[in-house]
Structure 1
């Protein structure tokens, strides 16, 4: 009896130990198969992984790669033998942000150079500051389409040239202005090649001959004397071409890449104004004197009133050589216009990023939707609507300059396979993951928390040291980050390793960091296996399960006649088991997120759940104790259902429902049980005292309104004041009773006696007045009828109404007929 008891105890301890180990492996990335291969693979797996390099490491009980705290606290590895390299951050150049009267003195980004020694999968954070400097140099190059349809635009631009300079000088004192023009390639079908048309392609509205067609011409290099701008614009003449689109991309490419010659400053805000009445072809070439400064904000304003060709349109003119993106300017004229194809959108976008140019597409209303889409593909560009005669160009440049400069966008360059995240409060209070801030003004500081992560070590060792840049879009300044990836441990370096060590089965491997790295053709923990004998027939037979033909069940490798089982998934510590790797102790069904419901319910044995006596089912999900099916009166499912797998299945013929079949539409028991609690909690009424209310009444929530959706049953009762109160009851996920009471009660309205009396009196008075009015109306009608009748009889009388017919005078009067009445 005692022996059986001891065996049972040992079995339980073994199961508990295995389960704990499996749980530990599942949540610990350091225990994966890949991480155990070498010290370098271990420290690259996760930030918390460490390697024990001790030669006397107790490897039968633990793996060399584990979390640092596990190796240290369990005492299986001495602290000095734990390899856990730390990352480092060094600010190699950190000049504070500052304004500057000269371009080279202005600093807008700090720090400028950072050196990182970084472990894979372990992020490093540091702070980066940006401040828009006052009087930061700006180079604005106006690139205009001078085809014939832009004649009125050219005249208006000449008038407004000084206003452009005046408007920009309010923003910065260090401002330079330049001007260039373009038409198209001088080949058919873009322009007419008839000799007469090549000399004079058209006539202006004034009747003067147009200039001969050309690709791109630098009319004025960037100059601090902005008064030259209007002179050069007036001196430039329009030209003509055949098709609607123009060679604008040729001009943009040359204006951007010919930086020193054109006059761009390196430290300046570079702007290029592109003006045209047509679109652009997609591929081209050039070189001349534009003069971008090395440090400046470069702005290029591109003005046009038409659409554009797509890349490869040069083939229409027999031009098949792709654009090379190189400056081809001679005497301020693009020399390769007829030899190189137009640039593509990607070429233009790439060069604009490389040269840190901001582009403003100043286009007419009908072309703006097209250039909006184009600006979405070109970093640091924006499209604005231009009036037909360019009269709003000053406002357009100023407004779009403010849009560009008020928005800060941080980006990366050469950061492939490196994750860089930006966190900032911008001008608010909440820290957000964002690389963009808006609404910036001159002198305002913005701080970014930069997080750099390397996910894995490149296979090419030369890539373990590399550099990338973080830069604000449209500016030449950048932060250079030098990365030194920690992809191997110090004990793996050439000076620390033991080549052909006797510790590796007769010198068949290199001993480093406490393990053997086997020579080619050897493998095994101590290089004990000869790879040339892996497929030996006798060795393979030892690894084949009876009644099978596949070694190690296809789940492992036969190593020296013994199955070395594979991990179940990549980078997993969960391996197949068994003599022939035939078992999988991790593929059983899950219940409540645990395999076989957890150790208290069952364990996984070779793919099948072995349940404890009180549980049943494929995942031991069924509780045979019926505890969860007991109703409040102690009966199973309230006598109206059956307990199946720990859940009540209520009789369909009955109206009882709920988790224990205790709820029905006509049941009022719960309503009566909770009536007094609702009275005392929600309305401070009812028979319960305050102490009884606090003791007995819980889980009651008072809210504005309740409905059927708030609970199983709606209950209504009259309170002490004869008002009707309403509440619902239901059950939460833990089967706790939840009651929701409506805050307001429905009370009967009181009788307003004064209103009733007033209404009756008012009604009587109103009726009396109405009767008087009717009587008066009838009287008036009657009198008028009698008077009309009298008048009618009087008018019809035969006698003189002025004499009394009965009266006779006392004298008689006779007329002498002789006088005839004279």
Structure 2
């Protein structure tokens, strides 16, 4: 039973959330009534003073009502808070027509007090009122391709308003227009083209613009006709238009448009697709859309060239916040595009617009009928501690949804009921959220708080049950300062409560291991399931949970002591399941070759040894290098272990032989000689018998004379070769210079007897005294 409980707790923790059960109370650390009811929706608390026996934990008071009653707790003494609701505003639904502000939902505000984990269901009613007002804002694309459409819309006002008033007694219409951002590559930014973006043949053309609010919502059809008639076509460069920019302004400029407490319709008439978030980067616009109204004094969108286009998600959220239902009146060429957009926007319709918008009135009426007859009830931002589910009384509405409840084909005056289930997963303070039908401003405000505290009939006087040192709270004693214990029987004295309780915790764990009560720093142990008491300083021991063999505790051959079997003489094993004998383990004078323990007449090998008697080790290798130093000192009396050989090499038994049958190992001693030996493993670990070859193989010494003589001859030969090479290089260089001199001499042009450097005298002087005689 304990193992099953432990397994379930582990599974619950591994999933990261507590799974409530309707018929079980999974209590963990419970000491008070509040702890109990927080443990799960099925948990209840018995506040009867005499319900628990002396020494029993207060947690016994916490269980399901069924279990508590079976244990003798009277129903009047059982505390189990339930979920309740209170209708704070519950005005009746409107009937008939003619009411300016009809009531279509019921109730209008409720307060839920929820028990955590316990789902609570309440009814939400909706009735489509007759004569519920309609506000319709007509948002028109005024790019040049919509020239014919504008002509028809100029005559639309009276016809459209009359049609809407035939459906409801109160209707208003307004008008706005759009093209696109006045930046490249969306619009030609040439100064003349900005003033007149239409073809030259077009006489009436207004300058390029993003969005312009023309007429606020009004019941004056003639005013609508006059204001729209004053509008002219405009133009831009690329095919997609700034539709989403225009929708965002029409939705957020509530006061300027004049949206009222009504069914709000936004008609978008266009023959082109739309730009969306990110496209503004093509014009160097990096600032995202601010989702606020930005109309200047001329009712123009002032941030058109500063903010990027809004995303579809932003548009969908803002439409839902303002309860505005869009109707996309688009031409056949782009209907598929807007159909995909409609899938992302709840309560929206797509209708096919004729080439010249001549069918726009019937189109709007058809779309309105579809939107108003499909009722979708949903909620706004839900606190994360709450979950919600919807069902409805409509045909096919029995399907449970966590997002919304739906009813289709609801006629005017029909009343439908939605069953809304709210559940709190944990204890929370008061939190609120709204529920209501999409497209309507009316909302049900839901206030939620949780019941996580017990409401008991407590006495504030000191009670005899608490030794006059405390008063009773939900059946347990709340002790005065300086006293503690189940019945305030323990006086703290100089020690504080934390110090006394710490004495009852083993290794800073649970008090008394959860098997007793800490009274004045001493554990008073509870009874076990078998009727005996737990024992030990921290109630950590019992004699009922030892290992079993053949469904017998300790195999019937021993006694259970603190969770371990103490076997009778002649038996062994964790459950005393084996007779003591080692017949199958004996290997000579040892058991299991000294490499394991004999348990239940079987060898339990250690390290990597295997086999019935631990005789094999497939991963072990002979430690030739490790025992090499011992071999050197044992057999030859040399080496680094020479002085303490007998102490360091006790794990070896050695014998020198003339010849080895097999040479398992070969190692070098410190003199560079090879030692050959064979090894055989003895019982135990790291013990060997070694046979050593008497003769070592040592390398011969070097011939110094030959080495020196050869070296000198080599040096002399190399020197002679270097001299010859140098001499040859010098001779070749001199010979080359001589040949060059001879060539230059042959090319000379002067007489062989004259020195070309000699110049004759320019003046000759004769000596008058010279006669020429010798």
1:98 corresponds to which of 89, 94, 103: 94
Change (3 A) 1:580 1:212: farther
In structure 1, C-alpha distance between the alignment counterparts of 2:352 and 2:90, rounded to whole Å? 42
Partner of 1:620: none
1:455 corresponds to which of 422, 425, 429: 425
2:121 corresponds to which of 114, 125, 136: 125
Aligned partner of residue 60 in structure 2, secondary structure: coil
Partner of 1:260: 255
- Are the equivalent residues in 1 in contact too, given 2:51–2:72 (CA < 8 A)? no
Partner of 1:224: 219
In structure 1, C-alpha distance between the alignment counterparts of 2:232 and 2:37, rounded to whole Å? 69
Residue 148 of structure 1: how far off its partner (Å): 1.2
1:440 corresponds to which of 410, 417, 429: 410
Residue 300 of structure 1: how far off its partner (Å): 0.3
Change (3 A) 1:542 1:170: closer
In structure 1, C-alpha distance between the alignment counterparts of 2:72 and 2:274, rounded to whole Å? 73
Change (3 A) 1:297 1:185: same
Change (3 A) 1:415 1:28: closer
2:341 corresponds to which of 374, 395, 405: 374
Partner of 1:88: 84
Partner of 2:387: 419
Residue 134 of structure 1: how far off its partner (Å): 0.8
Change (3 A) 1:390 1:542: closer
In structure 2, C-alpha distance between the alignment counterparts of 1:537 and 1:21, rounded to whole Å? 23
- Stretch of structure 1 that moved more, 469-478 or 65-74: 65-74
Partner of 2:683: none
1:179 aligned onto 2:175:
yes
Partner of 2:570: none
Describe how 1:582-597 pairs up with structure 2 within 5 A. Answer: none
Partner of 1:385: 352
Partner of 1:243: 238
Describe how 1:143-182 pairs up with structure 2 within 5 A. Answer: 143-182=139-178
- Stretch of structure 1 that moved more, 26-35 or 138-147: 26-35
Residue 346 of structure 1: how far off its partner (Å): 2.0
Residue 234 of structure 1: how far off its partner (Å): 2.7
Change (3 A) 1:305 1:44: farther
1:353 corresponds to which of 320, 326, 338: 320
1:201 aligned onto 2:193:
no
Residue 83 of structure 1: how far off its partner (Å): 2.0
Residue 448 of structure 1: how far off its partner (Å): 2.2
Change (3 A) 1:333 1:542: closer
Change (3 A) 1:148 1:30: same
Describe how 1:264-275 pairs up with structure 2 within 5 A. Answer: none
1:318 aligned onto 2:284:
yes
In structure 1, C-alpha distance between the alignment counterparts of 2:509 and 2:208, rounded to whole Å? 86
Residue 146 of structure 1: how far off its partner (Å): 0.7
- Are the equivalent residues in 2 in contact too, given 1:51–1:66 (CA < 8 A)? yes
- Are the equivalent residues in 2 in contact too, given 1:254–1:334 (CA < 8 A)? yes
Partner of 1:299: 265
Describe how 1:794-805 pairs up with structure 2 within 5 A. Answer: none
Per the normalisation by structure 1, the TM-score is 0.54
Aligned partner of residue 404 in structure 1, secondary structure: helix
1:471 corresponds to which of 432, 436, 439: 436
In structure 2, C-alpha distance between the alignment counterparts of 1:143 and 1:556, rounded to whole Å? 75
Residue 384 of structure 1: how far off its partner (Å): 2.2
In structure 2, C-alpha distance between the alignment counterparts of 1:347 and 1:257, rounded to whole Å? 11
Aligned partner of residue 490 in structure 1, secondary structure: coil
Residue 84 of structure 1: how far off its partner (Å): 2.0
Structure whose CA Rg is larger: 2
Change (3 A) 1:446 1:542: closer
Partner of 2:209: 214
Change (3 A) 1:177 1:28: closer
- Are the equivalent residues in 1 in contact too, given 2:45–2:63 (CA < 8 A)? yes
- Are the equivalent residues in 2 in contact too, given 1:414–1:467 (CA < 8 A)? no
In structure 2, C-alpha distance between the alignment counterparts of 1:28 and 1:253, rounded to whole Å? 48
- Are the equivalent residues in 2 in contact too, given 1:491–1:497 (CA < 8 A)? no
Residue 191 of structure 1: how far off its partner (Å): 1.7
Residue 66 of structure 1: how far off its partner (Å): 1.4
Residue 180 of structure 1: how far off its partner (Å): 0.4
In structure 2, C-alpha distance between the alignment counterparts of 1:193 and 1:467, rounded to whole Å? 51
- Are the equivalent residues in 2 in contact too, given 1:100–1:106 (CA < 8 A)? no
Partner of 1:362: 329
Change (3 A) 1:390 1:538: closer
Partner of 1:72: 69
Change (3 A) 1:142 1:415: same
Partner of 2:709: none
Residue 492 of structure 1: how far off its partner (Å): 12
Aligned partner of residue 293 in structure 2, secondary structure: coil
In structure 2, C-alpha distance between the alignment counterparts of 1:246 and 1:112, rounded to whole Å? 41
Q: Specify every segment of 5 or more residues in structure 2 that has no aligned partner in the other structure, as ranges.
A: 9-18, 526-538, 547-562, 564-774
Residue 231 of structure 1: how far off its partner (Å): 3.0
Describe how 1:736-747 pairs up with structure 2 within 5 A. Answer: none
Partner of 2:372: 405
1:49 corresponds to which of 39, 43, 53: 43
Describe how 1:555-574 pairs up with structure 2 within 5 A. Answer: none
Residue 476 of structure 1: how far off its partner (Å): 0.4
- Are the equivalent residues in 2 in contact too, given 1:364–1:386 (CA < 8 A)? yes
Partner of 1:137: 133
In structure 2, C-alpha distance between the alignment counterparts of 1:188 and 1:80, rounded to whole Å? 80
- Are the equivalent residues in 2 in contact too, given 1:35–1:65 (CA < 8 A)? no
> Number of paired residues?
508
Aligned partner of residue 230 in structure 1, secondary structure: helix
Per the normalisation by structure 2, the TM-score is 0.57
Deviations 1:451-485 (A, max 9, x none): 22222224xxxxx2122211001100111122221
Residue 562 of structure 1: how far off its partner (Å): 9.3
1:36 aligned onto 2:47:
no
Residue 389 of structure 1: how far off its partner (Å): 2.4
In structure 2, C-alpha distance between the alignment counterparts of 1:99 and 1:314, rounded to whole Å? 50
In structure 2, C-alpha distance between the alignment counterparts of 1:337 and 1:344, rounded to whole Å? 15
In structure 1, C-alpha distance between the alignment counterparts of 2:88 and 2:172, rounded to whole Å? 34
Change (3 A) 1:86 1:159: same
Residue 401 of structure 1: how far off its partner (Å): 0.9
Deviations 1:239-282 (A, max 9, x none): 112222222222111111111221xxxxxxxxxxxxxxxxxxxx
Change (3 A) 1:213 1:43: same
Residue 299 of structure 1: how far off its partner (Å): 0.2
- Stretch of structure 1 that moved more, 342-351 or 431-440: 431-440
Deviations 1:692-718 (A, max 9, x none): xxxxxxxxxxxxxxxxxxxxxxxxxxx
Partner of 1:752: none
Aligned partner of residue 170 in structure 1, secondary structure: helix
In structure 2, C-alpha distance between the alignment counterparts of 1:74 and 1:472, rounded to whole Å? 50
Deviations 1:603-654 (A, max 9, x none): xxx9xxxxxxxxxxxxxxxxxxxxxxxxxxxxxxxxxxxxxxxxxxxxxxxx
Residue 137 of structure 1: how far off its partner (Å): 0.1
Partner of 1:487: 452
